[in-house]
Amino acid sequence: MTNDEQASPASAPRGWREATKTALYGPGGFYLRPEGPAGHFRTSVHASPLYADAVARLLCRLDDVLGRPGELAFVDMGAGRGELTSGVLAALPADVAARVRAYAVERAERPAGLDPRVEWRAAPPAGVTGLLFANEWLDNVPLDVAEVAADGTARRVLVRGDGAESLGGPVDGRDARWLARWWPLGDEPGLRAEIGHPRDEAWAAAVAALERGLAVAVDYAHLKGARPPYGTLTGFRAGRETAPVPDGSCDITAHVALDACAAEGAVLLTQRAALGALGVSGGRPPLALASSDPAAYVRALARAGEAAELTAPGGLGDFRWLLQPVGVPEPPLAP
Ligand SMILES: C[S@@+](CC[C@H](N)C(=O)[O-])C[C@H]1O[C@@H](n2cnc3c(N)ncnc32)[C@H](O)[C@@H]1O
């Protein structure tokens, strides 16, 4: 692909938020390409159908809490190519599936051949009752970056189309207030932080789509007191981590300050704990099954391998789930 419409290497330096917006979602942008996210990296959704099964179980538990409404929404926020929505629809018991209205919210075009029951939209529906689920969406909401300059002040990082960075003016206003509250920088030159308020606002707007129900954001995250000192801005292309170059050729992503997104009543869990509560664990099947039903044993072993990947320490298991109840007392994680 040529990126004529993207910033040229010599283009004027811009903040990372503006540059990322164009690189990911502008004309020729990374996320509008036909291969979709699965062409470049593997999310939990792609790792195993056990993930969609667990989300379907969560939707069923929520359905009970909501008193089995006549219409139960499932909103897949940042849906990629609709893989999670399709998986959830396939995993639901018939009596629940018959009442579910499934929405895939995505900036890219509707993929050919998607289940016709899925409504493909550019923005979440308003006033629905049910589950809004955002898997690896917030890390792709573009942000500005701050860096401590030689004089000890926090400056906005500017970037050209070829990825070359320079320091701009001092961080001020809303950006400075967000950093002071959520990601205070010391005065050691080189310290960096991603300024997260656009994600807090994007998440609050998505949660506001729900009249009643549960909103869940899942992402690689960090919490106050343990922020990464140099930030996490990076790129991905064709399965490999790469330098973040805002020319439309790679993903540009940064871990999410999920605690800053949380509103009152929210629960934050590791993916390992959340999936454990939804019945996914990586335990091996009993050896006795190998002799009584070898085929079932092999299937169970494969499932255990996939569950282990979804819950692995140092991997997907360390992702965080932010569960935000809306008009219900608490996230229905207990069976
Ligand atoms: C990392 S991918 C995750 C895809 C899928 N949820 C998964 O887990 O496999 C992030 C997706 O969010 C979409 N996205 C980003 N911002 C969006 C927005 N404001 N509205 C809808 N989709 C958005 C991108 O186009 C991209 O497909």
The boundaries of the domain holding residue 181 are 14-25+142-193
276-318 pLDDT tens trace:
999 998 788 899 999 999 999 999 999 999 999 999 999 999 9
| Shared-domain flag, residues 163 and 206 | no
**Measured in angstroms, how far is the CA atom of residue 103 from the centroid of ligand 1?**
13
Residues 70 and 188 grouped into a single domain:
no
Indicate if ligand 1 lies below 6 Å from the C-beta of 87. Answer: no
| Protein residue closest via CA to atom 4 of ligand 1 | 80
Q: What is the 3-state secondary structure (H, E, C) of the chain?
A: CCCCCCCCCCCCCEEHHHHHHHHHHCCCCHHHCCCCHHHCCCCHHHHCHHHHHHHHHHHHHHHHHCCCCCCEEEEEECCCCCHHHHHHHHHCCHHHHCCEEEEEECCCCCCCCCCCCEEEECCCCCCEEEEEEEECCHHHCCCEEEEECCCCCEEEEEECCCCCEEEEEECCHHHHHHHHHHCCCCCCCCCEEEECHHHHHHHHHHHCCEEEEEEEEEECECCCCCCCCECCCEEEECCEEECCCCCCCCEEECCECHHHHCCCCCEEEEHHHHHHHCCCCCCCCCCHHHHHCHHHHHHHHHHHHHHHHHHCCCCHHHCEEEEEEECCCCCCCCC
Q: Indicate if 129 and 185 belong to the same structural domain.
A: no
Measured in Å, residue 83 CA sits from the centre of ligand 1 at: 12
Q: Which atom of ligand 1 is nearest to the CA of 76?
A: 6
| 106-138 pLDDT per residue, tens | 999 999 999 999 999 999 999 999 999 999 999
* CATH number of the domain where residue 282 is located: 3.40.50.12710
Q: Are 207 and 179 contained in the same domain?
A: no
- The reply to whether 64 and 77 lie within a common domain is yes
Model pTM score: 0.95
Which amino acid residue places its CA nearest to atom 1 of ligand 1?
Answer: 136
186 CA from centroid of ligand 1 (Å): 33
Looking at the structure of the chain, the number of domains it has is 2
Residues 216 and 95 grouped into a single domain: yes
**Residue that is last in its domain, among 152, 176, 193:** 193
The predicted-structure confidence for 232-287, as pLDDT tens digits, reads as follows 999 999 889 999 999 999 999 999 999 999 999 999 999 999 999 999 987 888 99
Residue 293 is predicted with a pLDDT of 94
| Segment 147-184, tens digit of pLDDT | 999 999 999 999 999 999 999 999 999 999 999 999 99
Q: Are residues 80 and 160 in the same domain?
A: no
Does the residue 242 lie in any domain?
no
User: What is the distance in A from the centroid of ligand 1 to the CA of 86?
Assistant: 15
